[in-house]
A = this chain, B = another copy of it.
Amino acid sequence: MTQKQEHLSKNQQIVLSIIERAKGPLKAYSILYNVQKRGIKAPLQVYRALEKLIEAGKIHKIESKNAFIACKNSDCEISKTTAFSICNNCEHVKEIKNLKLSKYLSNFADNSGMKYKKYNLEFFGLCKNCKIKQ
């Protein structure tokens, strides 16, 4: 029962709620714009909250987009292993939850003698909808 169920601070809660309500990944300055009515005025306040939320596994950063998305994988406790599918057309992003994939990658070892504790995988392609339309 020693869940890392962090208590979230006020700013962290505000930022998280914006990200959770969003349909897709949000950029930091777009978050900032959205939370100004709630008293958060400066970029740094947003970035600090983002940092903590990432540590807590509540959100992930989509590196190729510099954007942030809520974690839907409730069982990835600290979620150091992430995979996303990204549509090149409509920009839709979805976290991939696939046990085989995550096992495969978590156990991956090459001949470098390096053991990996963390990875981030971003797949790109056309989503079902956009494939039809084109």
Contact = CB atoms under 8 A, between A and B. Distances in A.
Given A63-B63, A64-B63, A121-B120, A108 B112 contact: no
Given A64-B63, A119-B123, A123-B119, A128 B114 contact: yes
A76 to B, nearest CB: 16
Contacts of A123: 105, 108, 114, 116, 118-119
A121 B98 CA distance: 16
A3 B51 CA distance: 44
A114 B101 contact: no
A96 B105 CA distance: 13
Indicate how many identical chains form the complex.
2
B121 A125 contact: no
A27 interface: no
Interface in A110-131: 110, 112-128, 131
A101 B101 CA distance: 11
A116 B69 CA distance: 20
Interface of A: 63-64, 80, 85, 87-88, 94, 96, 98, 101, 104-105, 108, 110, 112-128, 131
Given A88-B118, A119-B123, A120-B121, 20 more contacts: A63-B64, A64-B120, A85-B110, A85-B112, A85-B114, A87-B114, A96-B110, A101-B108, A105-B121, A112-B128, A113-B127, A113-B131, A114-B123, A114-B125, A115-B126, A117-B124, A117-B125, A118-B123, A119-B122, A119-B124
